[in-house]
Amino acid sequence: MNNARGIVLIIVLWVLMMLTVLAAEVARSVRIEGLTTDVYQQEVSTYYLATAGVHRALYTILRAQQQGHSMLNPGGMFGQQFGAFGGGQSGGQSGPEEQKPVDVWVRGDGQWKKEEFGEGGYWVRVIDEGGKLNLNQVDEVTLRQVLTNLNFDVKFSQLLVDTIQDWRDQDSLVRMHGAENEYYLSLPIPYPAKDGFFHLPEELMLVRGVTPALFYGREGPALRDLFTVYSSGGGVNLVTASPLVLRAVLGMDQQAIDELVQRRTEASGANLAGLFPGGGAGNTINFGLPQVVTIESIGYRNDGGVTRRVAAVVQRLGVNNFRFLRWQDRIDSSETPVQTEG
């Protein structure tokens, strides 16, 4: 009898231990599912906040276009409603002598701006694709000079110039430092040389010598911020070009570029026109609204560290129309937005 009671006690203890382990596992699973649901909810929320930022900037650009404004003519109703970030004073018309600053989203010079919205907000910047070098149209001399101005190694510059040209030309001839099918088909994951125009800037990472680190700026200047495939050509628009592009095409030192960008940010109207007495060889000065822009937006919530970054390449068509040339639903980037005044 005593032996039977001992066996029953052992069985009961084992059952209790198993139930305890099972209860702990269920509790852990419930906690993980709860955290997963919370993260998913924040992901969805920040995604739509980022999308709201894209449409907010797009609305400002289209509104300015409908009212016939440009970099040199930001006054009137546009100046009052959109001259300051996040709205402004409403009321009567501005006098012709009053020069309003051009809204940062309309300028298209890549400056970040932040706006609160609902339970969070968004960071937004608008980049004029005309303020970059077109990969399909930049000539060999300009490409070589650009890389020199950015202090790339001479041998590496020669390799990049030749491999980019070999990739986009329609023949199979190999330049001195270039690459064609023989090189690309010998890679661990082989693919043929395109021998045609670039359709996306990311295609650069398929070109010999261009690594993801170089493209995204983890090893020197970011090639994705320097080149485009969306501009209509005719050189780089110095009015909207980023500091990186200005340094690349003008060959000025960083201090001079920073001063130029600061004066450009503070200028408006005729003062803006006076900043660029000459565009330099192959460059342009266009004071109209950008034709093709990239709108990049980062949505965030005030109660969490989850963010979501999206981007859209948008082309203006006529006065009231536009079309999306590209939509990127998720962009991985370690870049931290910095808000600038202006």
pLDDT for residue 38 is more than 80:
no
Share of the chain above pLDDT 90, in %: 47
Give the separation between CA 109 and CA 122, rounded to whole angstroms. Answer: 18
Which residues fall within 8 angstroms of residue 223, CB to CB, at 6 or more apart? 201, 204, 210, 214, 215, 217
CA distance 181 to 185: 6
**Which of 48, 45, 108, 42 shows the shortest CA–CA distance to 264?**
108
Any idea what DSSP says for residue 342? -
Mean pLDDT, residues 90-95: 39
Three-state secondary structure call for residue 152: coil
What backbone phi and psi angles, to 5 degrees, belong to 248? -70, -40
State the fold for domain 135-223.
Answer: Ribonucleotide Reductase Protein R1; domain 1 (1.10.40)
Mean pLDDT across 43-54: 93
Mean pLDDT of 123-136: 94
* Residues making up the chain, counted from first to last: 342
Give the model confidence (pLDDT) of 151-174 as tens digits. 999 999 999 999 999 999 999 899
Q: How many CA atoms lie within 13 A of 7 on its CB side?
A: 4
Closest among 170, 216, 177 to 193, alpha carbons compared: 170
Contact (Cβ atoms closer than 8 angstroms) between residue 166 and residue 138 = no
Which distant-in-sequence residues (6+ apart) come within 8 Å of 304 by Cβ? Answer: 42
Average pLDDT estimate for 122-138:
93
What single string gives the DSSP state of each residue in 176-230? TT---HHHHTTSSS------S--SSGGGGGGSTT--HHHHHTSSSS-GGGTEESS
> Which 3 state secondary structure label does DSSP give 15?
helix
Domain 41-132+287-328 has CATH 3.90.1150.10: no
pTM value? 0.79
Where do you find CATH 3.30.1300.30 in the chain? Answer: 41-132+287-328
Which segments of the chain belong to CATH 1.10.40.60?
135-223
- Give tens-digit pLDDT for 208-221: 999 999 999 888 89
Q: What is the pLDDT of residue 177?
A: 93
- Over residues 219-247, the mean pLDDT reads 88
Instruction: Tell me the pLDDT of the chain averaged across its residues.
Output: 82
- The average pLDDT across 289-310 equals 90
Task: Give every CB contact of residue 289 below 8 A, 6+ residues apart in sequence.
Answer: 61, 64, 65, 69, 70, 71, 106, 108, 316
Contacts of 280 (CB under 8 A, 6+ apart): 238, 249, 250
Strands (E), the chain: 113-117, 120-128, 133-134, 227-228, 292-301, 307-317, 321-328
Terminal Cα-to-Cα distance of the chain (whole angstroms): 91
In the predicted model, what is the mean pLDDT of residues 162-191? 94
Res. 109: pLDDT tops 90: no
Query: What is the pLDDT, as a whole number, of residue 192?
Result: 95
pLDDT value of residue 146: 93
Name which of 290, 306, 286 is nearest 126 in CA terms: 290
The pLDDT confidence band at residue 97, using thresholds 50, 70 and 90, is very low
Q: What is the CA radius of gyration of the chain?
A: 27
Identify the helix (H) or strand (E) that includes residue 237. Answer: none
Does residue 90 have a pLDDT over 60? no
The span from the CA of 160 to the CA of 147, in Å, is 9
SS3 category, 245: helix
What pLDDT shows up at residue 40?
Answer: 74
